[in-house]
């Protein structure tokens, strides 16, 4: 062979070798780059490690103690005790009622009922009807007797009470002779009430409060 042929072959060999080196280098670089990219991707896509934080231990609630009942403190008003009840004084006893006249003091005359009595001394005689009570004091020493008003009978011996104040009356007859009404006794007929006392006889109209009091020495008309 000649030198030129050898030179050509060497040139071809060098050219082919350069091409191979270039291609292998590129392939190696490409593979290396891919591997690097794969590693990078693997590093990038790897999920972060999550560390579980343990839940705090739950302690049981402390035991519930029922509240202590506290008695309410007394207020000033509650602390003040009410005063003891005041016992009213006993009522004064009513005076004893005078003994009452019995049925023997009541009479019927001509269909009209009345009561009659006389004082223990016999100096005063009285009778009581439904409309008036009157007494006669035959033996009296009365003074200041009002003048008669044309009385044709005896004047100045008899007094009576009806609805108004006691008055002198003109009487031509004596009162009915009833039994003796003892001192301290009383007799009631209709609205009238008469008392026999040592100081005289008193007769009152209980509805009007008018009446009279007589004895041998004096009279009182009201």
Q: Could you read off the pLDDT of 87-103 as tens digits, one per residue?
A: 877 877 766 678 888 99
Instruction: Report pLDDT for 154.
Output: 84
Q: Does 14 lie in the same domain as 108? A: no
**16 and 111 inside one domain:** no
Q: Above pLDDT 70, what percent of the chain?
A: 61
Same domain, 15 and 123: no
Q: Is residue 164 part of a domain?
A: yes
**Confidence class for position 44, pLDDT limits 50, 70, 90:** very low
Q: If you average pLDDT over every residue of the chain, what do you get?
A: 77
In a domain, 79, yes or no: no
Report how many domains make up the chain.
2
Q: Each residue of 172-189: pLDDT tens digit?
A: 766 678 999 999 999 999
- pTM value > 0.85: no
How far, in Å, CA of 175 to CA of 138, rounded? 11
Residue 55 maps to a domain:
no
pLDDT of residue 36: 40
The whole-number pLDDT of residue 153 equals 84
What is the predicted pLDDT for the residue at 42? 44
Expressed as residue numbers, the domain containing 12 is 1-36
């Amino acid at each position: 062979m000649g030198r030129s042929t050898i030179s050509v072959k060497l040139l071809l060999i060098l050219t082919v070798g350069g091409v191979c080196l270039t291609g292998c280098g590129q392939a190696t670089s490409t593979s290396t780059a891919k591997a690097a990219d794969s590693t990078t991707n693997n590093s990038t896509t790897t999920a972060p490690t999550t560390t579980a934080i343990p839940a705090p231990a739950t302690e049981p609630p402390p035991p519930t103690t029922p509240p202590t009942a506290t008695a309410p403190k007394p207020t000033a008003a509650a602390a003040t005790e009410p005063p003891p009840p005041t016992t009213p004084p006993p009522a004064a006893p009513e005076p004893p009622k005078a003994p009452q006249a019995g049925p023997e003091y009541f009479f019927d005359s001509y269909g009209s009922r009345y009561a009659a009595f006389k004082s223990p001394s016999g100096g005063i005689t009285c009778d009581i009807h439904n409309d008036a009570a009157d007494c006669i004091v035959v033996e009296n020493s009365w003074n200041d007797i009002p003048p008669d008003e044309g009385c044709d009978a005896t004047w100045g011996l008899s007094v009576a009470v009806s609805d108004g104040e006691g008055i002198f009356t003109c009487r031509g007859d004596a009162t009915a002779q009833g039994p003796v009404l003892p001192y301290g006794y009383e007799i009631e007929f209709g609205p009238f009430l008469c008392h026999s006392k040592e100081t005289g006889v008193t007769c009152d109209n209980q509805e009007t409060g008018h009446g009279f009091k007589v004895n041998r020495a004096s009279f009182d008309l009201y």
